[in-house]
Homo-oligomer: A and B are copies of this chain.
Amino acid sequence: MTQFDEKSITPAVIARMTECQDPRFRQVMTSLITHLHDFIRDVKLTEEEWINAIMFLTDVGKTCTEKRQEFILLSDTLGVSILVITLNHPPEGDTTDSTVLGPYYWEGAPELPLGADLGIGVKGDPTYYSGRVLDETGKPIAGALLDIWSGDGEGTYDMQMEGDVGMKARGRIRTDDQGNYSFWSIRPENYPVPSDGPVGIMLRKMGRHPMRPGHIHMIVSAPKHHAVTTHLFAAQSKYLDSDAVFGVKDSLVTPFQHHDAGTAPDGSTRSGPYYTVNYDFRLRRA
């Protein structure tokens, strides 16, 4: 058959994969082609809309640099990233929920001693983070690793700061024999996802704001357990109900307790106000 109408084109494209050697790739592409064609038929996409879509995707590609991944941002803002994460890490018992990795992870943050201050030279309210890493039965895990990163107290990540400032508000902390962790950093603020590119144009056209509620990232891992990529969200944040990337999980929203100047839980003396967060992570056995 040489000619296709608006219905027969779909099985025709799929039928071209009879020589495909990878059954999973064939399955994924069959579903992709089916849904893509269904979408176009459903809305009866015009030729002008089609070329606009081509130009949009081209702009998204051109906006990607070593420090910026606009396609991940597109995936995040369309709820695709959190959907993939939720499918691959369904909630299990009391174990810690996963959420989006986001575009600001930087491999190789320095391993720091328990109680270290990740917020040195970083704007923002000092915050003492502490708690335990537990297994699924509630037993503490010694030597678990927290790989931690956040923006500063104005929501700006080191990668976004003017000049080459290196790593800021990043570090790796290991739990002690009793599974305890603790570190100082800053209280994370609400911030916008990058909105000066094509995804920003899309968000405005959708009538959406680009804000994320304040959060600190961590990947928590331990031998013989599944690592979890997650956030802690500040319970006071304004955008918990409308996170631009749909990343909020109720179990990850945690109070940031305000304290006046005085002696902090680690015995240090604070000359100004500070916050404390206490949170236990639970890892699933591998």
A→B interface (CB under 8 Å): 1-6, 9-10, 12-13, 16-22, 25-29, 31-47, 49-50, 54, 57-58, 60-62, 64, 69, 71-72, 75, 78-88, 90, 205-208, 240-243, 246, 248-250, 253
Q: Of the candidates B42, B84, B207, which one forms a contact with A21 in the assembled complex, judged by CB atoms under 8 Å apart? A: B207
Given A36-B78, A205-B20, A206-B17, also A2-B61 (CB < 8 A): no
Task: Give 7 nearest A-B pairs by CB, closest first.
Answer: A61-B61, A19-B207, A13-B79, A20-B207, A35-B39, A35-B35, A2-B248
Whether the pair B253, A84 counts as a contact (CB closer than 8 A) is no
Q: Which residues of B contact A82 (CB under 8 A)?
A: 4, 9
Whether the pair A84, B45 counts as a contact (CB closer than 8 A) is yes
A50 to B: closest C-beta gap in Å: 5
**Which chain B residue lies CB-closest to A64?**
B58
How far is B87's CA from A46's CA once the two chains are assembled, in angstroms?
8
**Which chain B residue lies CB-closest to A54?**
B71
Q: Which residues of B contact A248 (CB under 8 A)?
A: 2-3
Known pairs A5-B86, A29-B206, A32-B43. 10 more at Cβ < 8 A?
A: A2-B248, A9-B83, A17-B206, A25-B205, A26-B206, A33-B78, A35-B42, A44-B88, A50-B81, A61-B62
